[in-house]
């Protein structure tokens, strides 16, 4: 018997039992659709996270100071001295808090960060007009500010904010630069903030030292050595108490996020396997019913000269057709689902082509595996007994 003939016969038989076929397909369909939709969402969010992490830069380190006893922070001088360590390109200590900013009658609450000029290099965050915070601003505790694009728009509308004077917690600050648009990262919006000299910020928020330092490393490959040197230096400053500070590697962050994603994907795989298993059992069940129901048909076919492999092939192809069609419809449904979820959530979703292929191949494979037993059962029927069956 030819292959095409077998498929035609299987399709005919499957088609003549529409409701039953549809119901037994449902298990596979839902399984595959769920996987496709979730993979689509997962891929979308992974891409988003990766983009955000990439925007922070992987060649940077951040140090958080929690302190020891009464010493809860690092002095600004000590922080800046960390730049002496080899392979460190720039050190950017920050002091942050929130403040109310007012221009004429408009006021808003924003994040205020006290920075040094190195912030520009370390955070890769420059101005689009005006100038940056200069060392002299820091030294003289000047009341100058850089303004984020969103905050600028809120206070000034479309006017140029550079040169204007605003009130930050009641103090007058001159805006010297408009920051470039950077969007949101994991640490919050970059466009809704105000940057002022670190010394000015220390006075404003009444904080003596710095508790947060961002560091840019020159050579990525020597990252580990640099981290060790940095930790040794901090250990000395805090006199051997290694719980007073934490050095946080951006690369670690990426790894952590990837690990989380990996776990999610693995879980997804298990869910997929389980749903397809359940779907496969459904297909097997229906095929077994079909074999019993069509015992006479099998007897007739055998009496007319069907060999064991002909009968086996017929039922196997039917199982594969049911599960394969379930898989194909599941892919369509899942694709549609992920697209709709993407629109509803406003997130990116993307379904990789390989996933589609794997999902389809796997569902067809499920058909083979779970069709094998019923097909074998059918092929082993003795023609005499099968013909007598009603």
Partner 1 sequence: MTGAKQDALIEISNLVKQYVMGKETVTVLKGVSLHVYPGDFVAIVGPSGSGKSTMMNVIGCLDTPTEGSYKLDGTEVRGLSDDKLADIRNKKIGFIFQGFHLLPKLTALENCELPLIYRGLPAKQRRELALTALEQVGLGERVHHRPSELSGGQQQRVAIARALATNPPILLADEPTGALDMKTGQEVLGLMEELNRQGHTIVLITHDMDVAKRAKRTVVMRDGVLTEERRYGHEAEPRVQDGVQERLVEQA
Q: Which residues bind partner 1 (CB under 8 A)?
A: 1-2, 5, 12-13, 16, 296-297, 299-310, 382-384, 387
Instruction: Give me the least distance between CB of 255 and partner 1, in Å please.
Output: 60
Nearest to 270 by CA among 38, 27, 23, 46: 38
Output the CA–CA distances (angstroms, integers) from residue 229 to 7, 72, 83, 217, 218, in the order listed. 70, 21, 11, 12, 14
Q: Which two tokens stand for residue 13?
A: 């038989």
Q: How many CA atoms lie within 13 A of 252 on its CB side?
A: 10
Q: Is the Cβ of residue 242 or residue 385 nearer to partner 1 in the bound state? A: 385
Instruction: Give me the least distance between CB of 269 and partner 1, in Å please.
Output: 40
Instruction: Give me the least distance between CB of 1 and partner 1, in Å please.
Output: 6
Instruction: Give me the least distance between CB of 380 and partner 1, in Å please.
Output: 9
Instruction: Give me the least distance between CB of 300 and partner 1, in Å please.
Output: 5
Q: Is the Cβ of residue 18 or residue 105 nearer to partner 1 in the bound state? A: 18
Nearest to 89 by CA among 63, 65, 118: 118
d(C-alpha 291, C-alpha 184), whole Å: 60
Q: Is the Cβ of residue 139 or residue 309 nearer to partner 1 in the bound state? A: 309
Tell me which DSSP letter residue 218 carries: S
Q: Is the Cβ of residue 2 or residue 105 nearer to partner 1 in the bound state? A: 2
Q: Is the Cβ of residue 273 or residue 300 nearer to partner 1 in the bound state? A: 300
Instruction: Give me the least distance between CB of 374 and partner 1, in Å please.
Output: 18
Instruction: Give me the least distance between CB of 2 and partner 1, in Å please.
Output: 7
Q: How many CA atoms lie within 13 A of 235 on its CB side?
A: 8
* Residue labelled with tokens 């917690």: 169
168 φ, ψ (degrees, to nearest 5)? -110, 110
Which residues are CB-neighbours of 133 under 8 A, at least 6 positions away?
115, 116, 117, 119, 144, 146, 176, 195, 196, 197
Instruction: Give me the least distance between CB of 7 and partner 1, in Å please.
Output: 13
Q: Is the Cβ of residue 16 or residue 158 nearer to partner 1 in the bound state? A: 16
Instruction: Give me the least distance between CB of 321 and partner 1, in Å please.
Output: 16
Q: Is the Cβ of residue 133 or residue 291 nearer to partner 1 in the bound state? A: 291
How are beta strands 212-217 and 127-130 bridged, if at all?
unpaired
Q: Is the Cβ of residue 211 or residue 301 nearer to partner 1 in the bound state? A: 301
Positive/negative CA dihedral, 168, 174, 176, 177 = positive
Instruction: Give me the least distance between CB of 348 and partner 1, in Å please.
Output: 49
Q: Is the Cβ of residue 216 or residue 294 nearer to partner 1 in the bound state? A: 294
Output the CA–CA distances (angstroms, integers) from residue 135 to 15, 178, 208, 377, in the order listed. 80, 18, 19, 85
Nearest to 174 by CA among 189, 162, 156, 186: 162
Q: Is the Cβ of residue 236 or residue 390 nearer to partner 1 in the bound state? A: 390
Coil, strand or helix at 36: helix
Which residues are CB-neighbours of 323 under 8 A, at least 6 positions away?
25, 28, 279, 280, 283, 363, 364, 366, 367, 370, 371
Q: Which two tokens stand for residue 329?
A: 């419809």
């Amino acid at each position: 018997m030819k292959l095409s003939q077998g498929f035609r016969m299987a399709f005919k038989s499957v088609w003549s039992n529409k409701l039953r076929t549809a119901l037994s397909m449902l298990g596979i369909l839902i399984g595959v659709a769920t996987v496709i939709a979730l993979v689509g969402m997962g891929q979308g969010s992974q891409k988003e996270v990766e983009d955000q992490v990439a925007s922070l830069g992987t060649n940077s380190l951040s140090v958080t100071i929690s302190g020891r006893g009464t010493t809860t922070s690092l002095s600004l001088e000590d922080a800046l001295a960390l730049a002496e360590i080899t392979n460190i390109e720039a050190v950017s200590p920050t002091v942050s808090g929130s403040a109310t900013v007012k221009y004429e009658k408009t006021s808003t609450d924003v994040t205020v960060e006290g920075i040094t000029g190195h912030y520009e290099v370390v955070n890769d965050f420059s101005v689009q007009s005006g100038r940056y915070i200069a060392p002299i601003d820091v030294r003289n505790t000047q009341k100058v500010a850089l303004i984020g694009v969103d905050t600028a728009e809120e206070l000034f509308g479309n006017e140029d904010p550079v040169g204007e004077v605003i009130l930050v917690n009641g103090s007058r600050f001159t805006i010297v630069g408009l920051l470039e648009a950077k969007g949101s990262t994991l640490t919050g919006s970059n466009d809704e903030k105000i940057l002022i000299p670190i010394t000015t910020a220390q006075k404003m928020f009444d904080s003596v030292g710095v508790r947060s330092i961002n560091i840019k490393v020159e050579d990525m490959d020597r990252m580990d050595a640099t981290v060790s040197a940095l930790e040794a230096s901090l250990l000395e400053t805090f006199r051997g108490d290694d719980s007073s500070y934490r050095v946080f590697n951006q690369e670690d962050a990426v790894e952590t996020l990837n690990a989380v994603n990996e776990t999610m994907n693995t879980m997804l795989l298990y869910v997929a396997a389980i749903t397809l298993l359940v779907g496969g059992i459904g297909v097997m069940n229906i095929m077994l019913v079909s074999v019993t129901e069509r015992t006479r048909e099998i007897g007739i076919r055998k009496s007319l000269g069907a060999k064991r492999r002909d009968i086996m092939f017929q039922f196997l192809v039917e199982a594969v057709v049911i599960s394969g069609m379930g898989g194909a419809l599941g892919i369509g449904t899942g694709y549609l689902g992920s697209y709709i979820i993407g629109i509803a959530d406003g997130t990116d979703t993307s379904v990789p082509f390989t996933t589609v292929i794997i999902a389809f191949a796997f569902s067809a494979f499920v058909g083979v595996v779970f069709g094998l037993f019923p097909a074998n059962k059918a092929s082993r029927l003795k023609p005499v007994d099968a013909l007598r069956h009603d």
